[in-house]
A and B are shown apart, each in its own frame.
Chain A
Amino acid sequence: MAVLLAENIYGGYGDSVVIQDVSIRLEKGEIVALVGPNGSGKSTLIKTIYGVARLFKGKVLFEGRDVTGLPPEVKTRIGMSYVPQTYNIFPDLTVQENLEMGAYIIDDPAKIADRMELVFSIFPDLKVFREKLAGELSGGQRQMLAVARALMTEPKVMFLDEPTAGLAPKIAIGLLKTLIRIREETNIPMLLVEQHARRALQLADRGYVLVSGRIAVEGRGDEILSRKDLQELFLGIQKR
């Protein structure tokens, strides 16, 4: 059974439909890359599934349960987790408080402490800066904190919206490697939106290519990468 199943999704903002008839699934322990050119609707798709953007039509199943139309806070409560692309930290709170807010839905302090230890073991930098205001962190540290915050709830699935956006290549690769490590240690399935298609498909198990709000191609990461007709997409993006 797929951990997450989104079927025939139509989504967007206000009255404009951006996502048209998109179906995706996420199996246990899988990293799935969602790639595509600028403006193809990658972020909108995630937002629609999570309930931040508007869902016009379609169905979302999480662990077999119908979660269509549930507000984001409820989705988080039942084990989903989401790292937005921008505004993904609380800049006026300290690093530690950001993590505590990530664990808002957990009541047991011992469990929060455990999660925090785990998160600090993955991102040792954050432990050093735990008393610092999140707004004063560097770009790379902010993205780490954003991922760490989303990990605090012990999620059963994670959506990551371009966590490497705006990072220097070295730092971006380091963050992606950390994501693989997180998957190995926790077995959390991840839906990863990436601007950098080649990089994402190399590390992902499977991938979807989104073009103009529709799925153009889907399949195993290496399969998509080897397709000749898609080279332009990867090159076009790599040139940027």
Chain B
Amino acid sequence: MVPTLVYTVFRAVLDGLLEGSLYALMGFGLTIVFRVTRVANFAHAEYVTYGAYAAYVAMVAWGLGLIPSAIVAALAVAAVALASDELVFKPLWRRGSTPLHFLVASIGVGLVLRFSLQAVAAAVPGYLNIRLPRFPPTLTVVGGKVAINVVHAAAPLLALSTTVALHILFTKTKLGKAMRATASNPTLARISGINVIMVRRVTWIIGGLLAGLSGFIISYYIQANPEVGWNFLLWMFAAAIAGGFTFYGTILAGLILGIVGQVAIILAGYYAGITTAYKPAIALVIMVLVLLFRPEGIIRIQSLGLRRRA
């Protein structure tokens, strides 16, 4: 007879994998935007929320299917991300703002996005709490206790394949190398004939697409409200920062954060009576410790070339 705790932990690992994949997908967007444009983008959280709502509108109001709704979510958020750069960050960059100005501006963008959605959701009945009206089908039930559904498998697969795709983009394609070149030395990139404006646009679009997909997964598997992205904000920053703003680093850090977050809190509750309310503290503490004592990230991967400079 397998003890219940084993099932509980197994369940936690599964959920942790799923959550960690989300942290990674969101962290990628933060990473790529931060590398290329130096914007530590707090509004990324709101992109995720917009993805969740876009998917919901596509499915409920327009009657689209699951995959088309996911595509709508990704595209809509890509547009929002691009618009926030064109309207806010690019003008700031042109006038020579510092990274701190970018960060504060991104807080402003986040407030505008989050609370205009709040205002709409408060006025439209049924929009304060949403969940896609389709439930992820169960793949198998382990030991008669732990149900594994489609999202448990799809989210990690998506995160992994995104990692590989981003890696290929950034190390094998001309566009990706131009993005890295722009990140590394924007003036020289211009002098080399790289269209840095185009590079910027592509960067924000990719970040937006990934945030939109994360939002879709949230409204499909969990549920969403206008604050859902904001609640993920520190987790995604923790993944990106602990990953040293590299792709492999971010996915590893994201998965570790996800699994540790789920498992540690269950074990802490089981053995030490610590409440689950402290779960976010894991992300916060890891992030602060990494920033203070290992600012190049927990995982150093230099071959990616997306190395962090001092």
Contacts and interface: CB of A to CB of B under 8 A. Distances in A.
A133 B307 contact: yes
A100 B177 contact: yes
Contacts of A73: 190-196
Contacts of A84: 187-188, 191
Contacts of A72: 190-191
A100 B190 contact: no
Contacts of A52: 187, 191
Contacts of B306: 92
Interface in B153-182: 174, 177-178, 180-181
Interface string B186-229: 01111111111000000000000000000000000000000000
Contact of B305 (A87, A92, A149): A92
A204 to B, nearest CB: 23
A45 B183 CA distance: 27
A10 to B, nearest CB: 22
Contact of B191 (A82, A94, A97, A133): A82
A164 interface: no
B302 A133 contact: yes
Interface string A43-74: 00000001010000000000000000001110
A226 B194 CA distance: 44
Contacts of B193: 73, 76-77, 104-105, 153
Contacts of A92: 180, 183-184, 305-307, 309
B4 interface: no
Interface in A90-130: 90-94, 97, 100-102, 104-105
Interface residues of B, number: 23
A147 to B, nearest CB: 13
Contact of B192 (A50, A87, A101, A133): A101
A92 B182 CA distance: 10
Given A73-B194, A93-B180, A93-B181, A101 B189 contact: yes
A135 interface: yes
B297 to A, nearest CB: 14
Contacts of A153: 193
A40 B189 CA distance: 27
A197 interface: no
B190 A91 contact: no
B191 to A, nearest CB: 5
A88 interface: yes
Nearest to A106: B193
Contacts of B185: 87, 89-91
B187 A101 contact: no
B194 A50 contact: no
A8 B71 CA distance: 56
B19 to A, nearest CB: 31
B194 to A, nearest CB: 5
Contact of A149 (B174, B187, B192): B192
Interface centre among A50, A71, A72, A92 (most CB of B within 10 A): A92
A118 to B, nearest CB: 17
Nearest to A159: B191
Contacts of B192: 73, 76, 101-102, 104-105, 149
A72 B302 CA distance: 31
CB-based closest 9 A-B pairs: A76-B193, A105-B193, A92-B184, A90-B184, A101-B181, A73-B190, A90-B181, A73-B193, A72-B191
